[in-house]
Structure 1
Amino acid sequence: MASATVPVIGKRKRQDAVGKASKSKKPASEPAVNGKKKSAAAKQDGAGVPSKPVATASGSPQDDGPIFVQIVTGSYERTLHGISACIPRHLLQPQPHAHESTQETPATEVAFSDTFLFAAHSSSIRCLAVSPPTEADKRFLATGSSDERINVYSVSTAPPKQEGKLALPSLTATAVTENPRNRSLGSLIHHDRAITCLDFPAKGKLFSAAEDNTIAISRTRDWTVLSSIKAPIPKAQGRPSGDTAGPGETPAGVNGFAIHPSQKLMLSVGRGERTLRLWNLMTGKKAGVLNFDRSLLVQVGESKYSSGEGRQVLWTTDGEAYIVGFERGAAVFGIDSKPKAIIRPSPSTKLHQSRVLRMGGEDGSEIFTTSTEDGRILFFDVAVPEQSEDETKLPSCTCLAQLGGQAAGISGRIKDFDILRLGDADGKGRSTLLVVTASSDGAVRLWTMPDAIEAVKSGSPTNGEKTNDGTSSPRQVGTLIATLETGSRITCLGAFVLDGKASADASNGQDDANLGADEDLAPSESEESE
């Protein structure tokens, strides 16, 4: 494995850029360099978990104006598509009982515009990650592909200008609102295989995993690889005697990882092995290995012909439990690494992307949300239920509600989704959840739902529909407010609220010369020698 990384900007060029920024009369760029004062939103996002917790925002800078949301999608066609959605505030009032009218939602209520669209990689884009906001009203965007590269971009958080929507020509009816502050920062090539997972646990660190069984930690100040964790390559099991595959060509790679909220521990699951690995981020060493029991794999839907490998791992927001996702189910483990409950969709279907959500309200319940092959978003209560009479079987978590599916006229799989919490979006002091879903058929849909567990439990009924095992289907929640057909087979998605302020010198991008996002880190040795 090549441990070197290609810097996105050379030393001489970076010094010239910093010199230009120092000559600027704009005082707003100083906090991005000194970083002594942090906003409350930045502190909250900086201590997040890699399960992509719900973003919290108060909406647009104008309290009575619309809310702008930036959506970024990657696809099999190698294209990176940035979409800006202008959402009127009257659409952000959740209506739990209005799912029957989702197909009659006017298409002109939410205005979509393209911010960027280009071929970012030479192969399909497999994952992407968006960093927490920085003091410079920008976010870092990282994309991973099968071409072994990680592309890094700087994306502005300023809402698009309304008067400039039709300034650029377009082949489609969608307007184009290009922002000059959206810039490409370069590529990182410290992995030797396809990139599988990316995450910004804090605004100054980027964690990346690949099929070369390594997890690299990069610093966003100069994009230097601080450390690289090497997981062991699993031994081949059950291969036929006539297999002619060469050494090292067995299924290998890190499927996913999760960083504890304290940022001192990390969990990882890999291909070709039925284990979970615990890493100490303070020393970079392995701290433990947990083997999945056969009875547990059977209860989460893994047959004897399945691989039994973990596809995804998530920490809860309080760090007291974690969830390991498999192909058709998931298992909840306590902090003592003992299984507490299982999560199974009904009817049985394949799981794709998962998130951990802490609902609003008095109790603040932990909710496990996952997208399925049949076009649904399922919401499970992570609270461990009472033990059943049969001690050999683990209790099942309750499915509180579902969003989408056949009840909303959606049957295609939801490949990825993101959830944004909009504080006081309806002007009545209540929070609203905006769910952005991306399907493999190229459709991006926006949903609204209440940010309260009581409202989710009292969602609209499903007209007595029964599943194959005779149980009732989960209640339907959420209201579809907009749909956009991108024309690409979407593989990954990221979204955040455009709540920043436009810069006076945004045309020349001088404020983007300061690439640093973590002021607590000391400069590298090469910079000190200069």
Structure 2
Amino acid sequence: MCTELNTNIEVIVGTYEEFLLGYKLCFSPSSKIGYSLQTSFTNHGHTASVRSLASSTKHLASGGADETIRLFNMKTRQEVGTLIQHDGTVTCMEFLDSSHLVSGSEDGTICVWTTNNWQCVKTLRGHKDGIISLSAHPTGKLLLSIGKDKTLRTWNLIKGRSAYVTNIKAVGEFVLWSPDGSKFLVSLKNRIDVYSVKTTGIIHSIDFGRRASCATFLNDHVLVVGGESNKLELHDITRKCALQMFEAHKNRIKGLYCVRNFGTKQSNSLVLSTSSDGFIKVWKFKSSKLDEHPSLLTELDTTCRPTCLTVCYESPIRKAVTQPSLDVSSPKEELQTSEIAVYENKRKRNSSTKSSLKKKKKII
């Protein structure tokens, strides 16, 4: 148990060994470095390796090579069920606030789930091969996805259909929106292309020199990138320059997550990283000194092989995003800008849905 002061930050990793491992970040005055990661739960619900994780303020979802999504209520610390809809490995997931979950799979489909009863309210089809990565716009009205078919698709989540298709001419690694929604990036092998929503074109390309497998934004302009090396790199995509590079792990980096506005100094940010070396590390960045190496708050050896990482925490209320023009739709499908809920879908729900909620049971 975590016996010291709790920061309300809980990091969860999925592993090749089929486990979900949860750790609380605790402030420990007795520790030399001030913080520690204390085990909060262990779950072995999947029957194959865990490939994706997603979290909201209330829920945790894990997707596996066993083609299932496991669901957890992090408030009550209970496992609440399993979703069975995909016919392939669940490769990526993301929550739209706390109302919906979107999941992508190697079967080429994207499912949209409502969290009030965990029904699949929409299946988005269009990719001709497996889904690799997806990312939702901060407004919850747009979704980006990349697939093995070498395309980037923009989905209109209000209409529930594809709005635009871009041929990226290569199999991408991940796609990611910036926090303010003004830009997004696509990783292609050794290169990361940054797109502007306003111009719909590439405004900067980062030559990472090796495969970039994960990234997270420190703020609207500064990106932390990890991949097939033991180093993390910081890039300012507005100034179009590299800020720093430092050795973070002993092996390739598998997951990154940023907690912005951490601690008494709201300008500080935490970046949590995990690697094939089995370690989880917590780094603190000072926004005024991003060209200096971050301080290591704490680290922990999971003794497993992590595949993905997410963080559950109570984040500050996010201000409404002011979006001047989301000019990424095709001329025939203008995006609606009125404030309406994601998916005002009046169609009857598919009675043949395969979602099966199991009896609640405590997380071990």
Q: TM-score, normalised by structure 2?
A: 0.80
Larger deviation: 121-130 or 366-375?
A: 366-375
| Shift, 1:498, TM fit | 6.5
1:349 corresponds in structure 2 to 210
Query: Corresponding residue for 2:140?
Result: 263
Q: Kindly tell me: are residues 114 and 411 of structure 1, through their superposed partners in 2, closer, same or farther at Cα, counting changes over 3 Å?
A: closer
Question: 2-side partners of 1:413 and 1:68: how far apart?
Answer: 28
Match of 2:276 among 440, 443, 448: 440
Runs of 4+ in 1 over 6 A off after TM superposition: 520-526
- Supply the distance in 2 between the matched residues of 1:331 and 1:367 (Cα, whole angstroms): 14
CA distance in 2, matches of 1:286, 1:430: 38
Cα distance in structure 2, aligned partners of 1:80 and 1:65:
24
1:22-421 equivalences under 5 Å are 67-88=7-28, 106=32, 109-131=34-56, 133=57, 139-156=58-75, 181-233=76-128, 252-271=129-148, 273-292=149-168, 308-335=170-197, 336-345=199-208, 348-358=209-219, 365-383=220-238, 397-402=240-245, 404-405=246-247, 410-421=249-260
Tell me the CA shift for residue 266 of structure 1.
2.0
Which residue in 2 is equivalent to 1:496? 312
Equivalent-residue separation in structure 2 for 1:69 and 1:261 (angstroms): 21
- Could you tell me which amino acid in structure 1 is paired with residue 280 of structure 2? V
Choose from 289, 304, 316 the match for 1:455: 289
1:4-55 Cα offsets, whole Å, 9 max, x none, are xxxxxxxxxxxxxxxxxxxxxxxxxxxxxxxxxxxxxxxxxxxxxxxxxxxx
Per residue, is there more strand in 1 or in 2? Answer: 2
Structure 1: distance between partners of 2:243 and 2:78: 42
**Cα deviation, residue 433, structure 1:** 1.4
| Cα-Cα RMSD | 2.9
Identity %: 27
Q: Aligned in 2, Cα 1:401/1:147: closer, same or farther, shift over 3 Å? A: same
Contact 1:420–1:496, Cα closer than 8 Å, also in 2: no
Query: Matched residues in 1 for 2:298 and 2:187: separation?
Result: 30
Pick closer, same or farther for the CA change 1:276–1:82 going to 2, 3 Å: same
How far apart, in 1, do the equivalents of 2:133 and 2:32 lie?
A: 39
Contact 1:412–1:441 (Cα < 8 Å) also in 2: yes
C-alpha separation in 1, matches of 2:64 and 2:5: 37
Instruction: Compare CA radii of gyration and give the structure with the larger one.
Output: 1
Deviation at 1:221, TM superposition (A): 0.1
Larger RCO: Structure 1 or Structure 2 (Cα < 8 Å, ≥ 6 residues apart)?
1
Q: Which residue of 2 aligns with 1:239?
A: none
Structure 1 unpaired stretches of 5+: 1-63, 92-104, 134-138, 157-180, 234-251, 294-307, 359-364, 386-396, 460-476, 500-517
Letter paired with 2:253? I
Measured after TM superposition, the shift of residue 434 of structure 1 is 1.7
Structure 1 residue 260: deviation in Å? 2.2
In terms of fraction of residues, the more helix-rich structure is 1
- When normalised by structure 1's length, the TM-score is 0.56
Query: Is 1:259–1:266's contact at 8 Å kept on the other side of the alignment?
Result: yes
1:292 positional shift: 2.9
User: Structure 1 CA distance, aligned partners of 2:223 and 2:38?
Assistant: 32
Alpha-carbon separation, structure 2, partners of 1:254 and 1:150? 15
Q: Which blocks of at least 5 consecutive residues in structure 2 are unaligned?
A: 316-340, 350-364
Where does residue 334 of structure 2 map in the other structure? Answer: none
Distance 1:376 1:317 in 2: 23
Partner of 1:480: 296
CA distance in 1 between counterparts of 2:140 and 2:268 reads: 29
Conservation of the 8 A alpha-carbon contact between 2:158 and 2:344 = no
* Equivalences, count: 321
